[in-house]
Amino acid sequence: MMSPKQTQTAAEISEIPSTIKHQLEMGIETYWAVGSELRDIDVQGYITCARGSSDHAATFFKYLFETHTGLPVASIGPSVATLYKANLKLDGFAAIAFSQSGSSPDILALLDAAGRGGAKTFSVLNVTDSPLGKIAETILPIHAGPEMAVAATKSFVGMLVASLGMLAGYLKDRSIIPTLQLLPDLAQEVINSDKELPMGQISKASSLYCIGRGLNYALACEIALKFKELCHLHAEAYSAAEVLHGPATIAHEKFVTLFIESSGIESASMEAARQNMKSRGATVITLESIPKLTNPSNSHCRIELISPIVQIISFYVFVEKLARRLGFNPDLPAGLEKVTKTI
């Protein structure tokens, strides 16, 4: 087991509550304005440009905007621009890049190609004075500050917060803002909590499925990545529907399935998948959603929108501890760098 001395990863996770507070103070009006602009210019749909954890944030944006606006959101593979050099035809679309560093050549190339193809270009970005910041017509800073650990944590959370701020502006729904303002306290609460997932069962798994639906499918993707890069555990992400189209076949008694709970309309299909996994002998573990608020002053808050953010923060606390228990340094995953430059 690695020394319990605080890692850089743990330090950055502990900064998340104050980072969200700072982000809302500095950025919420920008997010609102961009969301309003997207509505006013009547975009026909969105394409996203991202890789790694940032791509999982883009998946969150996809489900958020598709379910609330009815407009399609599609992820275009960066190789379409870098390797295949396709001439994109994106008149009427908005292209949104998600990036912590703003430096990966493939994301730069794709956003540039999208702009040349007629799309209005935006970037949800941490390092704003980066090459990506120079390419995008509009920048949405996430104000996360320096993120030195290889694995993204606070920057990922910041991208989700920015996406919700954009949705608020698009819908002109002011109730989303006080909902977001609950996040710093809720984040601090889960960071301080001694409640966590069963470390022993997960550490001994031969393989894991991470299962979610809607917004929580984006979390499933991020969680599966963190198991791999921090803990050297094989994990795959599926929606509660997709896992039943074949992948369920190989679930057995040495398998662990982690369900990212939702208290919304997704719960019935999640329960069906959960029972299917149990019937196959797999261990079923649940990353719980946050309870609905009962305080009358919060009666109009959209708690279902921020529950995924609280859940991923809770998971980050857990996975950093699990990595150390397994003898790995979460700050320096083997063979990885903070800025991954691909084409």
Give 233-289 pLDDT, tens digit per residue.
999 999 999 999 999 999 988 899 999 998 789 999 999 999 999 999 999 999 998
- Amino acid, single-letter form, for residue 185: D
Please report the pLDDT score of residue 297 as a whole number.
56
Please report the pLDDT score of residue 298 as a whole number.
60
CA angle, corner 323, sides to 289 and 333, nearest 5?
A: 115
Please report the pLDDT score of residue 294 as a whole number.
45
In the chain, % of residues over pLDDT 90: 87
- Amino acid, single-letter form, for residue 200: G
**Max intra-chain CA distance, the chain:** 55
Q: Which of 1-5, 136-140, 218-222 has the lowest mean pLDDT?
A: 1-5
Domains detected in the chain: 8-181 (3.40.50.10490), 190-325 (3.40.50.10490)
Please report the pLDDT score of residue 45 as a whole number.
98
Are 238 and 219 contacting, i.e. CB atoms less than 8 angstroms apart? no
Q: What is the reported pTM?
A: 0.95
In the chain, % of residues over pLDDT 70: 95
Judging by beta carbons within 10 Å of its beta carbon (0-12, 13-18, 19+), is residue 41 exposed, middle or buried?
Answer: exposed
Phi, psi of 180 (to 5 degrees): -65, -35
The Cα 341–Cα 121 span in angstroms is: 21
Average pLDDT over residues 52-64: 98
Phi, psi of 23 (to 5 degrees): -60, -45
The larger pLDDT score, comparing residue 15 to residue 338, is at 15
pLDDT at 296 over 50: no
Give 158-170 pLDDT, tens digit per residue.
999 999 999 999 9
Strand partners of residue 235: 208
Query: Which residues does 289 contact at the CB level (< 8 Å), separation at least 6?
Result: 261, 262, 263, 307, 311
DSSP state letter for 102: S
Dihedral of the CA atoms 214, 217, 222, 227 (nearest 10)? 160
Query: Which residues does 99 contact at the CB level (< 8 Å), separation at least 6?
Result: 50, 54, 107, 123, 124, 125, 126, 130, 132
The Cα 295–Cα 230 span in angstroms is: 38
pLDDT at 97 over 80: yes
**Over the chain, what is the mean pLDDT?**
93
Average pLDDT over residues 204-211: 94
Looking up tokens 């601090």 gives: 188
pLDDT at 193 over 50: yes
pLDDT band at residue 299, thresholds of 50, 70 and 90? low
Judging by beta carbons within 10 Å of its beta carbon (0-12, 13-18, 19+), is residue 171 exposed, middle or buried?
Answer: middle
Average pLDDT over residues 72-85: 97
The larger pLDDT score, comparing residue 199 to residue 337, is at 199
Are 106 and 126 contacting, i.e. CB atoms less than 8 angstroms apart? no
pLDDT at 55 over 90: yes
At 343 the three-state DSSP class reads coil
pLDDT at 180 over 80: yes
pLDDT at 60 over 90: yes
The Cα 74–Cα 247 span in angstroms is: 24
pLDDT at 141 over 70: yes
pLDDT band at residue 231, thresholds of 50, 70 and 90? very high
The larger pLDDT score, comparing residue 206 to residue 86, is at 86
Average pLDDT over residues 328-341: 81
Please report the pLDDT score of residue 242 as a whole number.
96
Q: Which of 85-89, 171-175, 294-298 has the lowest mean pLDDT?
A: 294-298
Please report the pLDDT score of residue 109 as a whole number.
98
Please report the pLDDT score of residue 3 as a whole number.
52
The Cα 142–Cα 139 span in angstroms is: 9
Please report the pLDDT score of residue 305 as a whole number.
95
